[in-house]
A and B are shown apart, each in its own frame.
Chain A
Amino acid sequence: MLLQVLLSGLAIGAVYGLMAMAFAIVFYVTRVINFATGQLLMVSIMITAALSRAGLPDIVSVVVGVLASTVAGVLIYLLAVRPVLRFDRFSFAWLVSTLGVAIVLQSLAAIIWGPTSRGFPALLNRDNLHIGGAGISVQELLTIIVAIVVLVGFELVRRRTLFGKLGQAISADPEMASAIGARVTGFAIAAFAIGGLLAGVAGILVGPITFSNPYLGDTYGIFGFIALMIGGIERPAAAMGAGSCSASCPSVRTRSSARRRPTGSRSSSSWPCC
């Protein structure tokens, strides 16, 4: 019984952890928190679901869905973040512009696909494994494995390679980094692309459980952000750990999804400004 709780906690925590990593990698290079990260997860889920409904094979829908969230990540950088940073590298104005993007993406999705939940391909969620009396779907197992691989991979790159150290150099002094031959803009684009990719993958992994809904970005954005804040923003590994912990702490989960705008005048949502 305990093992069962632990396994499902781990699986859902892995999703939060992936989201936290999506936030953290962007922050690591650019010192920006992309508040539309949750909506990138939503983009991949919605597009995958729509393509699947249109009759495309699962694998194609999944690949296009993930690609879409990756491209969306890059577009967010180019359209909403880069102009702000060029004006003042130290301002927090990106907070407003990325939140704006989050609102736009979410409402557009609701306009296009309707505000209610719809189906999502089951993918690997049909197959179950049994480990010592506890059941886990292959999908959940895959989620845990992907999270661990991403985490270990990132830590290896960060600590062991010149490439990883360059990331830190770029965030500390972008101009000097370009004066030693680093493509600073390229790096930032890559960071937002990887952020979008991770959010997209997290979406595919969690989609069979949540189905598709334009407001999913809210929930997962919040948990990823909380995991990031509690874990420590400069240590993605700890953020991942915090993601798993917060998943097994049901109190945080229910509280944070209590949603109401201060004015009480607008519909349900707890992501800032949505």
Chain B
Amino acid sequence: MTAGIDMAAGRTERARSRSRFIGLGAVALVVVYLAANLGVAHGSYYVQNLAEVGAVFAILALSLDLVAGMTGLYSLGHAGLFALGAYATTLLNANLGWNVFILLPLSVVGVGIVGVVLGALSLRVSGLYFAIMTFIFTLVVTVLISDLDFTGGLQGIAGPTFPDFPEGLSFLGSSVAWCVGIAFLVTVVIVWSIRSSAFYPVLLAIRDAEPFAASAGVRTGVVRVMMFGLSAALAGLAGWAFSFLGFVSPGQFNWTVSVNILVMVILGGINTRLGPIIGAIFISAFPVVISIDPLVQEVIFGAIFVLVIVFFPRGIVGIVTSLARRIRRRPLPATEPSAPDTAPIAEAELAAAGEEPQVSDEIALEVRDVRFGYVRGTTVLDGIDMRVRRGSIHGLIGPNGSGKSTLVNLISGALRPTTGTIEANGHRIERLGAAGRPARGIMRTFQTAVLVRELSVRQNAGIGLYSRVPRISGRSLAWPLFPSAHRDDRAIRTRATAALARVGLGSGWATARVADVPHGVEQLTQLAAATVGEPSILILDEPLAGLSSGEVEQVSEILRQLKRDGVTVIVVEHQTRFIFEMCDEVTVLAAGELVTSGSAAAVRADERVREVYLGQ
């Protein structure tokens, strides 16, 4: 026992020294960066221009990676947003004489708001159409700035001059270099903070597994729009900084610039810390630095694009990581990939059951006269009533297409009933969105687990705590700077580990990537994600699909434990042996109507149930 405590103490000690080490490293990095910035500020015009343009495009590439890499929104609107920032700063300074430091928050917030509006409009359409909508936005912006009178037309307009440093600070050199450099540093801090925060797995879940994120309480639509707004604000910042570099003209903000920024992100390495920066520097500096015959230089430039992407589809950062991997484990394991160090799915370590817990008469969830149709005029569910008692396991069965999944979606909030009410723990919830339900104690799983494949099992389980960590999205902007964030990181890790242990996934699985684990472990992971927040009502949609008989027994045992803990469980399943063995009560649907509802034994004996569902 003491050994265990010592070990735990050692671990926290190690973690603390590790985080102190990282902190020191970050400070050192900033110092080195500032020194480099000082060097640039004293450099020749050539060096300054090169560094400043590179930094502006690095801001743009980082901001695009925020939406393209982390949120899966391939925006072609960033050139337009960039243009708004630059032109707003230039025009308001030139025509109204506003101070450039007042224009900084104005262009950042203003372009951010434009981004929120554009995002809200474009996100109604998904995937490719998002790219098209934002593309058209850029097109409209460039047409406007070239057609309007006060923008200087195609010729463009001279940008404002950035004030020089006062006498005492003139040793710092060029003020524009510092302005651009600090803007870049701020962007890096924000984007890297989000990457290292507990919000990052949530963002990837929105990108890859939206229903899963929504069931954990994430308002996915809102988060997407806000992320696009943040990304737009950073593009506005880039525009503000860019206006001090000389002339602004429509050609610099063409839609092709949008494509260019996307190329920087992908060529450097999408969804990586350094990739967008490397891509931006390469693309903006290569043509300037390599001074040979311009046509030959272009051929080489294009050939590099093709070669890098064909041989390293993950981009320039992919070259480095694959080289590093090759060096680190030179002798490749000759055998199969080694299994995690514990037995595949350890016996759930469950305390021997005490006395059977009593199912109370209190109603945990009540569905009253619910009707629903996907299209007006059609009915999928017709007047369904269902009462689920607290602490019971309630089965929901019926033929394929009978409306079970629809009912589950209504209870969990993915859909809203046409008429009728749903009450959970004494609150009406039928008008509440899916993201509001975890706060009411309702969590769910899906037929086939859709998780974030590139994250670990434990990170996926931690996503289930989203609604339990306050202001996670706001704090993510400067995550490492909050002491509370470190506490939350630890708490999420501990609770996720505990939840995984409860479903029988020992520490060996916790750090495995979901992409590498077998189907059964994925199903158990989503069960852990659904129970980690300690819901009072848990909805399981075909939890046994694709599980072998041993795993079925394991899930049964987990269910019994949940029942002992007083959790109300609603389970949709086709394996009748499991249903009638585990459930206290069963509700049967067929063709969108209620067939019967009652104790498992009564339902099993019901003639109509045999007819529509069980067969002989």
Residues of A in contact with B (beta carbons under 8 Å apart): 35, 79-80, 83-84, 87-88, 91-97, 99-108, 110-111, 115, 222, 226, 229-230, 232-234, 251-252, 255-256, 258-267, 270-274
Contact = CB atoms under 8 A, between A and B. Distances in A.
Nearest to B155: A258
B157 to A, nearest CB: 14
A125 B293 CA distance: 37
B92 interface: no
A111 B310 contact: no
Contact of A115 (B295, B303, B304): B295
Contacts of B266: 92-93, 95-96
B580 interface: no
| Size range of the chain B interface in the assembly | 35 or more
B256 interface: yes
B263 A265 contact: no
**Top 6 closest A-B pairs, CB basis?**
A100-B305, A103-B302, A260-B251, A104-B302, A107-B298, A272-B259
23 contacts: A80-B310, A83-B311, A92-B266, A96-B305, A97-B309, A103-B301, A104-B298, A104-B306, A107-B299, A222-B256, A234-B128, A252-B143, A255-B147, A258-B154, A258-B251, A259-B251, A261-B252, A265-B287, A265-B288, A271-B256, A272-B259, A273-B263, A273-B305
Contacts of A255: 142-143, 146-147, 154, 250
Contacts of B311: 83
Contacts of A232: 132
A83 B313 CA distance: 9
A99 B147 contact: no
B309 A96 contact: yes
Contact of A99 (B128, B259, B310): B259
B143 A251 contact: yes
Contacts of B74: 92
Given A96-B305, A100-B302, A260-B251, A91 B147 contact: no
Contacts of B223: none
B215 interface: no
A94 B257 CA distance: 17
Interface of B: 53, 57, 74, 128, 132, 135-136, 139, 142-143, 146-147, 154, 246-247, 249-254, 256-257, 259-260, 262-263, 266-267, 270, 283-284, 287-288, 294-296, 298-299, 301-306, 308-311, 313, 315
B306 A267 contact: no
Nearest to A115: B295
B299 A104 contact: yes
Contacts of B304: 100
Which of B135, B250, B299, B306 counts the most chain A CB atoms within 10 A?
B306
Nearest to A234: B128
Given A93-B266, A95-B259, A79 B154 contact: no
A106 B256 contact: no
B153 to A, nearest CB: 10
Contacts of B136: 229-230
Which of B246, B267, B270 counts the most chain A CB atoms within 10 A?
B267
A270 B254 contact: yes
B310 A84 contact: yes
B299 A108 contact: yes
A83 B310 contact: yes
Given A103-B299, A272-B257, A272-B263, 7 more contacts: A80-B309, A229-B132, A255-B143, A260-B251, A262-B57, A262-B260, A266-B294
Given A101-B302, A104-B306, A263-B284, A233 B128 contact: yes
B262 to A, nearest CB: 6
A260 B302 CA distance: 18
Nearest to B74: A92
Contacts of B142: 255
B147 A251 contact: yes
Nearest to B144: A255
B295 A111 contact: yes
A106 B565 CA distance: 69
B247 A100 contact: no
Nearest to A100: B305
A261 B135 CA distance: 18
Contacts of B251: 258-261, 270
B552 to A, nearest CB: 29
B263 A79 contact: no
Contacts of B139: 226, 252
A101 B299 contact: no
Contacts of B270: 92
A264 B247 contact: yes
Contacts of B301: 103, 273
A138 to B, nearest CB: 34
